[in-house]
Amino acid sequence: MRVVSLVEQLFFLIEKHKQPMHVGGLFLFDIPTSAKPDFVTDLVRQIRNGETPPTFPFNQVLHNLTFWKTTEHFDLHYHFHHTVLSKPHSFQALLSYVSDVHANMLDKKYPLWECHIIEGIDDASTTSETEPKRFALYFKIHHSLVDGVAAMRIVEKSLSNSSTEVMTLPPWALLSRDEKNLKNIAPNKRTFSGIVKEQIGTIKPVFGELKNELKERKEPGFVSTIQAPTSPLNQRISNSRAFFATTYALSRFQKIAEILQVSLNDVALAICSGALRSYLLQLEQLPEEPLIAFVPVSLRKDDSASGNQASLVLCNLATNVDDPIERIKAIHASMTMGKDKFGRMEQAQVINYSAISYAWEGVNLLTNAYPKKQAFNILISNVPGPKEPLYWNGATLSALYPASVVFNGQALNITFSSYLDKLHFGIVGCDKTLPNLEYLTEALDTELLKLEMICNLA
């Protein structure tokens, strides 16, 4: 058994019916042109007829909210679902299906994940005969089991680098094709004395950074936990979800980053910032002060793919500024300061520093006392994805869209992930709290084009 960590406990403590704490991914696969018409049917039949049990972390069940136990019990009917969307088929129908499934809470009596294979995602009337037929895989897993980087590593290790490899195992056991995968993703074993020694060692550097923070308050990139303004994004939510997805060529972001001498992540954050500014202007509710984003930063220094090893940087999105270049400068300054700070600390030190710095926000999440007053206005995540093409029984993975969490006081989440030469954005929001969320994908297009025009790329 493995003890549930404090971070993992937090996910369970704040979880409610209307704010489930799982993350998900929507994966699109192109069916090989040489495949038989019943390619997906065969794939589903193979999964249903198989008797291979789940491997780590899909065989972990929560015990008394205290330990993770490996279970031998596996209910295929609970975990696996096959759906054929009703006509007219469309990508929007797929997003609506994912929206509904993503809103449902996972049952803690079972291992905390679900797998959905979805057919009927293409409209024959608008799809060319030369375009490959597609199917989708939507997979969700509790955030206590994995963070974004861990989830992406599981995907990368589960699928194949070969278009000709035939895989007879279900998605939740694909890691067992190579024993090295299972060893690499397992969490490192730690002794109680080692943990105590590590925690004692964090005291001096953590308080040193807290003291140093007092000096940094005058620097342009500094963001405090009390400066996020009240905004429409920070309201109580319902259990309704809306999921939207859009894709861009990665080169568009790379060219802008090179010209402006910022990171690709800075460019993506600037695009999100501009889109949020435009969205709130449309609602006539743009705050006078800049929105503040919480941006996860991975702390992993190994190949593990379990648990949560991330902290968060507060980023000034400069949404109160009309000039896109001034916005991206502010974003770059915030992210640079946050990353430099974490770069000076070890993983345990970063976690303890964050626990102290964001303590009141943690209390707010647990109590929901002040949903409109948050330490940040929105979570925006960047999850680097595979750089090599991946396949499932010859079907090519063509897109992957992350779907993350929202909760009381945080009604919107934007997560983007790279794969090959594309950047895929997944937007999750409470559509009963925030109207017209579909506008955000259009606004992202507009903001990217604005930066390209400024950089003479359009």
Give me the pLDDT at residue 110, please: 95
Residues in the chain: 458
Compute φ and ψ for 281, nearest 5 degrees: -65, -40
% of the chain beyond a pLDDT of 70: 78
245-304 pLDDT, tens per residue?
A: 999 999 999 999 999 999 999 999 999 999 999 999 999 999 999 999 988 775 555 555
Between CA 21 and CA 210 the distance in angstroms is: 30
For residues 243 and 426, the answer to whether their CB atoms sit within 8 Å is yes
Give me the pLDDT at residue 263, please: 94
| pLDDT (average), residues 368-394 | 85
Between CA 135 and CA 29 the distance in angstroms is: 6
Between CA 448 and CA 1 the distance in angstroms is: 48
For residues 425 and 383, the answer to whether their CB atoms sit within 8 Å is no
Give me the pLDDT at residue 132, please: 80
pTM equals 0.87
Average pLDDT, the chain: 84
- Largest CA-CA distance found in the chain, in angstroms, rounded: 66
Confidence at 192, pLDDT banded by 50, 70, 90 = very low
Place of tokens 């006509």: 87
Which residues are known to be catalytic? Answer: 143
CA nearest neighbour of 400 among 266, 247, 264:
247
69-115 pLDDT, tens per residue?
A: 999 889 999 999 999 998 877 889 999 999 999 999 999 999 999 99
